[in-house]
Structure 1
Amino acid sequence: MSTSYADSAQAREWDKRFDDWGRPKAPKEDDFHDYEAAALALSEAQALRAALQLQERKAAAKRINAAVEQIGDFFGMNGEKT
């Protein structure tokens, strides 16, 4: 079974990174991706976005109700207010 060019190129790159002149190099932080931290940050961002959207909807409902009330007052559709 022969290896493809990509496999051999990847193996050579691995050798260059981690076995330069017989001394292993410490892996860099950029070599690895922390999927758990990324997922946690995404879920926190989504929770914050949902909370902000809820506040915005509540504020919009208050503004809409106030506008409808003013329109009703202008056209006399809210009845007599004492």
Structure 2
Amino acid sequence: MSVNSELSLGRLRQDVAAVLGVMPAFIAADVPLMEQGLDSIRLMTLVERWRAAGAAVTFADLAERPTLNEWSALLTSQAGRHA
């Protein structure tokens, strides 16, 4: 399975929801995640999880992009470059 298919927008939403303790439907893809309760500790947890899945992503990569849509675009573009 490629990183792209493993880290789809749906999977990202599920992972963010899991670290926030909410239902995935409550995570808006176009609202900054810090406004939805994400903090730096939880962000680091996500970075570690996604790196373990094969994504070449850093804390700074995600911190510079505030929304789930931007994270998805970043990870999708990375998967395309590494395919």
Flag the structure with larger Rg: 1
Q: In which range does the TM-score fall when normalised by the shorter chain?
A: under 0.3
Query: TM-score, with normalisation over the residues of structure 2?
Result: 0.21
Query: TM-score, with normalisation over the residues of structure 1?
Result: 0.22
